[in-house]
Amino acid sequence: MNEHPEFDIVEITRKIGVNMLNSVEITSQEAAWYLLREPMSKCSTVVTTIPTMWPCDRQRIRKTQKELDAIGVGEDSTNIWK
């Protein structure tokens, strides 16, 4: 900034960016992606939560009567939780 007091910080940053892009050799495809502001890579990692608490401490929801009738659960069955 001391060398060129007529430029503000935005213009200095723009000049630095242009100089850096001019000094780096990139392919035309990379340049097109850069100009279109597209990501160079995409992440395909899916995050899965694994419950690590004891089964007796987990949150449970009782199955609806419709679901119980569909699978034919008796009155003394313990298979009533989702």
Convert 14-63 into a string of H (helix), E (strand) and C (coil). HHHHHHHHHHCCCCHHHHHHHHCCCCCCCCCCCCCCCCCCCHHHCCCCEC
pLDDT digits (tens, 9 = 90+) for 32-61: 887 888 877 777 778 888 888 887 888 888
CB count in 10 Å sphere of residue 51? 9
Give the per-residue pLDDT at 2: 66
Give the Cα separation of 24 and 49 in Å (integer): 42
Q: Does the pLDDT at position 1 exceed 60?
A: no
What's the pTM?
A: 0.30
